[in-house]
Structures are given as C-alpha cells and as structure tokens.
A and B are shown apart, each in its own frame.
Chain A
Amino acid sequence: MFGELIRQKSFGVSVAIFIMLLLAPSFLPRFYIYLMAVIFVTALLAMSLNLCVGHGMLFQFHHGVFYGVGAYTAGLLLVKTSLPWWIALIAGPLAAAFAGLLIGMFCIRLNRLYFGMLQISLGSLIWAIAFRWYDLTGGDDGIHGIPVPDFIASTTGSYFFVLIVTVICLLLMFLILKSPFGSTLQAIRDNPERCAAVGINVRHHQLITIVIATFFGGVAGILFVVVEGSIFPDLLFWTLSLEIFIMCLLGGWFTFAGPILGAAIIVSLRTFVGTYTEYWTLILGVILILLIFFLPEGIMGTNYRQLFRSRVKYNGEYQTE
C-alpha cells in the first residue's frame, strides 16, 4: 500500500522537508513556529477542499462550514463536558463528516452552480445558529481559552501535534487519490456523462468524496482548536470558504500539493502584510484578479505545463458546463 508513495519522484524531497519541519522548533523563534502551525492547519483545510474542487470539480463553495463544525464540536465538548480530550478530537471530524453527508445529500441532486449556491445557503444556516446561540456557543464572541491537554498546549507541543496529524492526513489523501476511487473521481471531474456511461454511479461517488473531504476539513477544525484554543463564528462564515477556494486556485487546483503552497502564501501574506495595512482584503482581491487573468491553473499547475510543453500538448479542450 505504501509502495506507491516511495515510487514517487518527489518522495525524497518530501521526506527531507518533513525532517526539516521536525527539527524547526529547535532553531526557529516561537512566533514562526506558531505561524507554521497555522499554515499546516490551513493547508490541510485547503487540501481537503481540493479533493472536491480540483479532483472532483464539485463546487464546494462553503467548505469552511465543515472546518467550523469540526472546531465547534471539539471545542464545545472540551469546554462543556468532562469527556476525555481524545474523544472530543475524534468527535470533531466525525461531526464534520456527518454534516458533510447531510448537506451533501441535499446539494448532490443539483448541478455545479446550483450545488454551490445551495451549499452556501445551508452552510449559512449553521453559521447563523453558531452566531446566535449565545448560551451554547458564546455567539459572535465565540469561546476562548479552550483547555487542551498539557502535551499539546505549548506552542511547540501543538506544532508537533499539528505537523504529525497533517502529514498523516496528507498521506491518506494521497493514497485515496492514487486509488481506483480517486482515479474514478478524476474521471468524473473530466467528464461525468461519460463516467455514467461506463457504469459509475456518479452522484454516489461524489457524495462519498464530499464525506471524505469534510472529514479532513473537520480534522483541520480540531487542529485549529489545538493551535488557537478558541472557536468563533468566523470559522463558519462564507468569506473564509471562498478564501480557501482561492488557496486551491493559487497553488494549482489540478495538482496534488498546490493547495499547500496556496495556503502557505495566503497565510504568510496575511500575517506580514496585515501588520502594514488594514486593507488586507483589497490585496487579496488584487491577487485573485491577477491569478484569474495570468495563472488560471495556479502556480504549480502552470509550471508543470511550461516544463512539459514540448512533450504534452494539452489543447485545453475540455468543458466545465
């Protein structure tokens, strides 16, 4: 099962990066360790979205909701109950996947844009509940100072925890994409009608994809709780969902690792540019426009094509509608 991994050309580089990241806390200042943990969480979230968007061509416009559901489930269980911490952390992704199943069953009946619109609608319903139910969720303030076990409470502890969980999730996603399931999903992305004609139950396949993607989105949610120790309704707000959509696009939505790069760029920009100007969203908007006009396949997607242009003459002949 792991043979596929080792055969990858980028396997050596990935292992080297992983070892570097394991050693990072010993030489980097605390702020950067924290920042990298945030990047990992966001990268995992973007990767999970890209299962739907880049590999499945499902217009999952409100993926942030599942991130939020994961975070809220874990956060509320940690604060309001005396259940052991690990149950809370397992419950988060499961709740997210369940929400994904419910919302997915609604949306999957519809095509593309309608799918996306309906998901924004249903997701906003969950947001509204979290936003208004002061007694349970703390309303728009959210809940802060969520207790996590000591070994993951420190900056370094949470860094290692987030790093390990993220890497495990990325490995799983990689294997899923290389499996017959993932292969079929990519075929559905390219041509759902043809897939149905070769005997694939397209809707069923897409629904499973949504459940898997929302599960990993929920994992990102619990990691957020571990890193930040707080939950608030912005996690469920649709602007965040569109922001991670941009990350997938920026990095390269038809590539495997593109969303990681996209997340790293956006999070770093927000952190560093945000200290100079309060008009961060203006800059994000300009980045997005530049992306649409000049790099519609994202950074990694574009490089790939330029590199192999002589060998692969892809003529762009594929339809989205």
Chain B
Amino acid sequence: MEGGAGITLAALSSTFLVGLSRAMILFIVTSGLSFVLGVLRVPNVAHGSLYMIGAFAAYSISTLFGGGSLGFWLALIFAPLVVALISLIAERTLFCHLYQREHLMLLLFTFALMLILGDLTKIVWGADYRSIMPPPVLQGSVSVFGSPFPKYNLFLLIIGPLVAVGLWLFSTKTKIGKIARAAAVDMEMVGAIGINVSWVFAFAFVLGCLLAGLGGALVSPTISVTIGMDHNIIIEAFLIVTIGGLGNMWGALIGSLIFGITQSFGVLLWPQFAIIFPYLAVVIILTLKPTGMLKAVW
C-alpha cells in the first residue's frame, strides 16, 4: 500500500488502466446485450448466466488441455461457441415460438432461462470456486509509471477495441449485419422485403449470447469463477446499456468506460463503497439524460 500520505501518479494511472481493462470486459458483455436489445427489443435477463457459463466452460476446456497455453487459447475460442450453442438450442426449441406474443412474455422467458441456467451450472460445475491461469506469455506484469500492471489486463486492452472494430465492420459491411441493423430500426420493413424475421432474431440472439460467452471466457483468469457471478454482471450490464442508450453499440462502449473507470477509482478512494460510485454515475447521467447518452435505437 502507498500509505495515507496521498495518491501518487503511479496509483492514479494504474487505477485508470485497471478500470479501462475492466471496461473492456464489460463492453464485450454489454455489446451482446445491447445487440439483442436492439433487434429483439428484449433485455435478455439470461445474459449474465451465459457469461457465467462462458467462464465455467473456459475453465473446463482449459483444464481438459492441461491448463497450459494451448488450453487457454482453445478455451477462448470454444467457450463462446459452447454458449452460442446453448443459446441456439434455447432459441430454436422455445424462444422462437414466442415472437408473436406479448412483449412481456419474451422478457419473462429470458428470466426463466436465467433461473434454469443458473441451477444447471450449479449441477454441472458445483458451487466451488475455480480459477484459471493465463498463458505464460500473459503472466506477470509490466511497469507503468513505476507501478506494476498485469500483462493480462494489457491483453484485454487490446482485445476490447478489436471486438468493437469487428462488430462495427460486421454491422456496416456484411449483409447479415446490415439486415440486423435495419431490423433494429424497422422490423416490419425487414419482413416486408422477404427476409425471414425469425432467423434474423435467432441470429441476433445467438450472436449476443456468443459475446456474453466471450466476455465470460476472457474474465475467467482475472477473477474466481463461481456461482452468483451472473447476478452481479447482469445488473451492471443493464445499467450500462441504460446509460448508453438502449440498443446502441457505441452507447454500450461509453457506458462500459464510465462504469469500469468509476468503479476502479471508487476502489482507490473509498474501498467499502466502491460499488456505489458507478451507480451514482448512473443516477447523475440519467438525471441529465433520461434516455441515455446516445440515441436509443427505439
């Protein structure tokens, strides 16, 4: 500890970087949530559970391959795919039959999914704490303004922007991305030009869940993976998309940055109430702009 004398530049900069890397995880998770919100107009309450499953799946895959470098990279690829598969099954067997129904029913379905997936995770992986080591190349830390900064967090700082750019390219350059974006604005029109709306929904839902799984896999080396992490992330993700603007991808990025950075400075300034700081930021933002920083897609 630095002692009570004052907050040094090193502490400030490392706090900032920690917040930034946390924001990257949050962004990857909330961009998925935001995507589903934009297209389906449903806040996917089960999003947090899929994030948790992503983390557990990453643990299992990495353990399967001996926990080394190979295991980690394979986990990073396959854990999100496992999550995507789970969401695809849920979507095609049950969720897709509700699209014609009242909107509230869709929301409640995702809640039911959260309850079920939460307990299934407990059944499969148990209630123990799990941890994963990052691959050797990302272990240890580098020095930033004289204070150590974990290499893995640096890795997150690279991955986050990559995902953002990837999503941006995907939604502006590919055909299916354009359809999904059009669907977010005007679903009826998309149906009218002969596109199978049900499959657009399915695709958006699965892609959103895949991002949740990726977030879970990425976060797994930085925290202890355990039951209950779904409940915490989903509230944070809700707050972030609300302050960002519902369904707005860039809003999710801004919201994540605000959230991650206020949180880490909260830890620096007043550890006991660190959790309050991002919430306060949310209240302030929503007082000024009730519908979020950026334009909601609906």
Contacts and interface: CB of A to CB of B under 8 A. Distances in A.
A279 B276 contact: no
Contacts of A134: 272
Nearest to A107: B290
Chain A's interface: helix, strand, loop or mixed, by majority?
A: helix
Contacts of A128: 275-276, 279
Contacts of B241: 117
A131 B275 contact: yes
Contact of A285 (B102, B115, B122, B283): B115
B282 interface: yes
B103 A120 contact: no
A288 B108 contact: yes
Interface in B110-148: 111-116, 118-120, 122-123
Interface in A224-263: 237-239, 242, 245-246, 249
A284 interface: yes
Contact of A110 (B119, B231, B276, B290): B290
Given A128-B276, A292-B105, A321-B103, A121 B112 contact: no
B276 A121 contact: no
Q: Classify chain A's interface size.
A: 35 or more
A309 B214 CA distance: 50
A278 B118 CA distance: 12
B286 A129 contact: no
Contact of B109 (A106, A117, A239, A292): A292
A293 interface: yes
Chain B's interface: helix, strand, loop or mixed, by majority?
A: helix
A246 B113 CA distance: 13
Contacts of B102: 296, 320
Q: Classify chain B's interface size.
A: 35 or more
B64 interface: no
A113 interface: yes
Given A110-B291, A125-B276, A129-B276, A118 B105 contact: no
A292 B116 contact: no
A291 to B, nearest CB: 8
A136 B296 CA distance: 39
Contact of B246 (A117, A282, A289): A117
Nearest to A281: B115
Interface string A263-293: 0000000000000001101101110110011
Nearest to A239: B231
B272 A125 contact: no
Contact of A117 (B104, B242, B272): B242
Given A117-B242, A132-B276, A285-B115, 18 more contacts: A113-B43, A116-B43, A117-B246, A121-B279, A128-B279, A132-B272, A238-B235, A246-B111, A279-B119, A281-B115, A281-B116, A281-B118, A285-B113, A288-B109, A289-B94, A292-B105, A296-B101, A320-B102
23 contacts: A59-B104, A110-B290, A112-B103, A114-B242, A120-B238, A124-B239, A128-B276, A133-B273, A245-B108, A246-B111, A279-B122, A281-B116, A281-B119, A282-B115, A284-B115, A288-B108, A288-B111, A289-B94, A289-B109, A292-B101, A293-B94, A296-B101, A296-B102
Interface of A: 59, 106, 109-110, 112-114, 116-118, 120-122, 124-125, 128-129, 131-134, 237-239, 242, 245-246, 249, 278-279, 281-282, 284-286, 288-289, 292-293, 296, 320-321
